[in-house]
A and B are shown apart, each in its own frame.
Chain A
Amino acid sequence: MIPPAFEYLRPKTVPEAVALLQQHGDDAKILSGGQSLIPMMKLRLARPGYLVDINAISGLSYIKEEGGFLKIGGLTRESELEASSLVKSKYPLLMDTAAVIADPQVRNMATVGGNLAHGDPANDHPATMIALGAQIVATGAKGERVIPIENFFKSLFETDLKHDEILTEIRVPIPAPKSGGSYVKLERKVGDFATAAAAVQLTLDGGGAVQKIGIGLTNVGATPIKARKAEEFLKGKKPDAAAIAQAGQLASDEAQPSSDLRGPAEYKKGLVKELTKRALTRALERAGK
């Protein structure tokens, strides 16, 4: 399958890229890792007249802690996240997620930023970043704008990014001591989208009660879902088996899956309950409760 013809543009700086996006409007798309965009172009689900390839822009690929945040550059590849000793030591939820996205070859190209900016609720990082309470940095003609993750996903394949903005950084708050996270995904085979998945990030207080918690759900709605009721329920509680089971049920109630080739909606609801329980349990183990 050969994609429709387009004009290829390769800016060297962010302002140059923004100018090109402004010039060509809705007919331009950003090419980052291309692992979603190129398949969509082959299927004619996307037909951009101009591709603005941002891969030649230097300084957009990094993973570092600074100013209270883990900062991930807009061009950082999934495989770089996977190989990062910083991520491995302090961000198990990110590590879990990077390891189950697509397959090794795709992760060598695919970017964390693209996984979010694509706005696909079946992608894995959206739920993860919701659980982590991340912020998205969007750069446009007027400079940078910071978008809290809960305001980022608008509808299916639609985010808060304007057509002339580039996702240049993801900021994840550095977790306090006694924090843990986990991502549990059920997929039919390596490389498939999740049938469903649950992301959990939590912090315990000195007494072992839940001080802070984020729960995100993958591929069970038109947008990635923040399981607010389950989060509220667990806050301030000691997470024993009964509380974990109840939180799983609440998350399941908040999921809005549709029936498709991966299973009926009812099955996916049941799955969300179980996956949330497992993610909570593993996150607690990692927080050292």
Chain B
Amino acid sequence: MANKQLVKVKINGRSCEAAVEPRTLLVHFIRESLALTGTHIGCDTSNCGACTVMMNGKTVKSCTVFAVQADGAEITTVEGLIKDGQLHPLQEGFKQEHGLQCGFCTPGMLMSSLALLKKNPNPSEEEIRWGISGNLCRCTGYQNIVKAVQYAAKKMSAAQGGSK
């Protein structure tokens, strides 16, 4: 019934557009219109954080944002982490430290961890736990997720130091 509206975004560096109903949620736009299925739908009630993406540099729960609100925005999803076939240090950390079991929460965990490390490159354990407090994991008990973020923090600050 409602008219479709054109939504243009720059997602993982690529310009994309699709016409959607205003009630279309950003997560459905990303998964269905743009065919990027790395972003997961978990609780669909803005609790679990599986749908976390970056919108204009800030993490949001894409199940609680309308796609039309993202018109003109820059979006990063989990697919945007890998660079030239190289895993992002966070992805590598989750792999090395066994930061996942079933992996359902992982895309959201990665995006929240990325936002945390951008703001605070050397977080304490408590700060990591606060940083991922909007993301639920039902497998790991969070221990290895914290270790994975610490792994990435170490690797990223070493890389920064090395490039100077």
List residues of A whose CB falls within 8 A of some B CB: 1-8, 10, 31, 34-35, 38-39, 42, 51, 53, 55, 79, 102-106, 108-109, 190-191
In the bound complex, CA of A7 to CA of B49 (Å): 28
Q: Does B66 touch A at the CB level, under 8 Å?
A: yes
List residues of B whose CB falls within 8 A of some A CB: 1-3, 5, 21-25, 28, 44-47, 49, 52, 58-61, 64-66, 68-69, 112, 115, 130-131, 133-134
Residues of A within 8 A of B3 (CB): 7
Q: Other CB < 8 Å A-B pairs besides A5-B2, A105-B60, A190-B133, 15 of them?
A: A1-B44, A1-B45, A5-B21, A5-B22, A8-B22, A31-B69, A34-B69, A35-B46, A38-B46, A55-B69, A104-B134, A105-B61, A106-B46, A108-B59, A109-B65
Known A-B contacts A5-B1, A103-B134, A104-B133; A34 and B64 likewise in contact (beta carbons under 8 Å) = yes
Residues of B within 8 A of A108 (CB): 58-60
Residues of A within 8 A of B115 (CB): 104
A191 touches B66 (CB 8 A): no
Q: List 15 A-B contacts (CB under 8 A).
A: A1-B44, A1-B45, A3-B23, A5-B1, A5-B2, A8-B5, A34-B65, A35-B46, A39-B45, A53-B68, A105-B112, A108-B58, A108-B60, A109-B65, A190-B133
Residues of B within 8 A of A55 (CB): 69
For the A-B complex, the count of residue pairs with Cβ-Cβ distances under 8 Å equals 83
A191 touches B47 (CB 8 A): yes
In the bound complex, CA of A55 to CA of B73 (Å): 13
Known A-B contacts A3-B23, A42-B45; A104 and B112 likewise in contact (beta carbons under 8 Å) = yes
Closest chain B residue, CB of each to CB of A5: B2
In the bound complex, CA of A182 to CA of B129 (Å): 23
Residues of B within 8 A of A79 (CB): 58
Of B5, B21, B52, B134, the most chain A CB neighbours within 10 A belong to B134
Closest chain A residue, CB of each to CB of B2: A5
B69 touches A53 (CB 8 A): yes
In the bound complex, CA of A108 to CA of B112 (Å): 12
A103 touches B2 (CB 8 A): no
A106 touches B23 (CB 8 A): no
Residues of A within 8 A of B66 (CB): 8, 31, 34, 38
Residues of A within 8 A of B46 (CB): 35, 38-39, 105-106
In the bound complex, CA of A109 to CA of B70 (Å): 12
B45 touches A106 (CB 8 A): no
Closest chain B residue, CB of each to CB of A43: B45
B133 touches A103 (CB 8 A): yes
Residues of B within 8 A of A31 (CB): 66, 69
Q: How far is the CB of A186 from the nearest CB of chain B, in Å?
A: 16
Partner of A105, one of B5, B68, B134: B134
Residues of A within 8 A of B47 (CB): 191
In the bound complex, CA of A105 to CA of B50 (Å): 11
In the bound complex, CA of A10 to CA of B59 (Å): 23
A105 touches B59 (CB 8 A): yes
Q: How far is the CB of A27 from the nearest CB of chain B, in Å?
A: 14
Q: How far is the CB of B106 from the nearest CB of chain A, in Å?
A: 16
Residues of A within 8 A of B133 (CB): 103-104, 190-191
Residues of B within 8 A of A4 (CB): 23
Residues of A within 8 A of B1 (CB): 5
